[in-house]
Amino acid sequence: MPAADNGQNETPSITGPRDYVTPKELDPYGITQTIADYADAARNAIAAGFDGVEIHGANGYLIHQFLAPNTKNVAAEASPCFPATAPMSPA
């Protein structure tokens, strides 16, 4: 049983209880697509007039899962555009 499940099969939402979604491991294509999605979102924010974009990357969020040694996996290592040791730019 996933730790987040706690014996329940539903999670609250604004439209009422919803079934949990079982997470799936990203394959190399999925990793590449997710990176492109992040880049598109950042471009859209800049085009909308935002000064910058900040990605929350701690405590299990997606970007953290690629950088944390305890979540490193074969799919992350297989991505040609996001190696597990990729440096993060502060700019």
Which residue in 33, 24, 23, 28 sits closest to 74, CA to CA? Answer: 28
Band (pLDDT 50/70/90 cuts) for residue 19 is: confident
Number of domains the chain contains: 1
Q: Among residues of the chain, what percentage have pLDDT more than 70? A: 67
Query: At residue 24, does pLDDT exceed 50?
Result: yes
Q: Domain for residue 78, yes or no?
A: yes
Name the residue with tokens 């700019």: 91
61 is catalytic: yes
- Domain that includes residue 83, residue range: 25-91
Which residue in 77, 79, 65 sits closest to 24, CA to CA? Answer: 65
Per DSSP, what are the bridge partners of residue 10? 19
Query: At residue 8, does pLDDT exceed 50?
Result: yes
In terms of pLDDT, which residue wins out, 78 or 9?
A: 9
Catalytic residue among 20, 29, 38, 61: 61
Mean pLDDT of 47-64: 84
User: pTM score, two decimals?
Assistant: 0.56
Q: Domain for residue 2, yes or no?
A: no
Q: Domain for residue 36, yes or no?
A: yes
